[in-house]
Amino acid sequence: MHSNNSNGNGAARARGFAALWAVLAVGLGLAVFPAEAAPFAYVANGSSNTVSVINTATKTVVATIAVGSVPDGIAVTPDGKHAYVANASSNTVSVIRTATNTVVGLPIPVGGNPGGIAFPPDGTRAYLTNFNSNNVSVIRTDTRTVVKTVPVGTGADAVAVTPDGTHVFVANFTANTVSVIARPVEATIPVGNGPSGIAVTPDGTRAYVTNFFSNNVSVIRTDTNTVVHTVGVGAKPVGVAFTPDGMHVYVANLRSNNVSVIARPGNTVVATVPGGLVPMRSPSPRTGNTPMSQIGIPALSR
């Protein structure tokens, strides 16, 4: 979810819930963790310009970290050592050291209204969508510098990386397309109206895209870059996540206040779970060195 900033482009997303983000995100930290792990959830609080760190075992906030203006997307590096926070109104990225829960270095300048963040498995790069700039900033994580900017479709929003790290999928909210970045943009795939959330299956064979205004999910075959299924879900779907075995897909429906559960490989909705008020994307959990990236609701750990 992006802020409604001065140039008005953020308003096109028709969400208007930035002030509620902190309360909602904390309430949606539904995670499955190994018994021996010490899990933490990092929650971007758009209305207070902070990140809350939640110990999910005790369900308590253990730290509150000041970041940039209107923090939006948040993701933890695959090694669990840092959390990257997209500050939508500052047009920057803050980097948090998870061992100390402190911001390290200066904010990284990026494009306009940054939001989605994802990492390849090796963690050497961060891919950041810039909603108003219609591009993706590629950040080198060892130097924390932008090394490349890749043009994509209008309203670049959610982003996901295939498990082998070779392809990056970007949901373009106002273009109704998904861009596939290889070197450079390899394909542009038409999807539904208002693609907002995106996630790649654990085996890398499919990408699932939530279409905010179409009330459905596009299923993309990643080897051919074609939509092979369209699955109707609840009203105004936003977040999407997979169970660890990849057999079920969870979709957060903002307007109908519930979660649709899609069974794979048949791509049929097998359950609709009531949720809290206005379910959105979840915080990014960290469990030791477990690889993590920005995911949807509910938060599911491998």
Is 61 within a domain?
yes
Is 113 within a domain?
yes
Is 277 within a domain?
yes
Which of 17-26, 99-108, 126-135 has the least mean pLDDT?
17-26
Structure confidence at residue 55 (pLDDT): 81
Is 4 within a domain?
no
The total number of structural domains in the chain stands at 1
Structure confidence at residue 275 (pLDDT): 63
40-56: pLDDT as tens digits: 888 888 889 999 888 87
Give the CATH number of the domain where residue 140 resides.
2.130.10.10
User: Would you say residue 174 has pLDDT above 80?
Assistant: yes
Is 7 within a domain?
no
**Beta bridge mates, 198:** 209
Is 87 within a domain?
yes
258-291: pLDDT as tens digits: 889 999 999 999 999 886 544 444 333 333 322 2
Q: Which domain holds residue 44?
A: 17-286
pTM of the complete model beyond 0.95: no
User: Would you say residue 103 has pLDDT above 50?
Assistant: yes
State what percent of residues in the chain have pLDDT above 90.
Answer: 61
Structure confidence at residue 25 (pLDDT): 29
User: Would you say residue 144 has pLDDT above 70?
Assistant: yes
Summary mean pLDDT of the chain? 81
* SS3 track for the chain: CCCCCCCCHHHHHCCCCHHHHHHHHHHCCCCCCCCCCCCEEEEEECCCCEEEEEECCCCEEEEEEECCCCEEEEEECCCCCEEEEEECCCCEEEEEECCCCEECCCCEECCCCEEEEECCCCCCEEEEEECCCCEEEEEECCCCEEEEEEECCCCEEEEEECCCCCCEEEEECCCCEEEEECCCEEEEEECCCCEEEEEECCCCCEEEEEECCCCEEEEEECCCCEEEEEEECCCCEEEEEECCCCCEEEEEECCCCEEEEEECCCCEEEEEEECCCCCCCCCEEECCCCCCCCCCCCCCCC
Is 2 within a domain?
no
Structure confidence at residue 185 (pLDDT): 86
Is 6 within a domain?
no
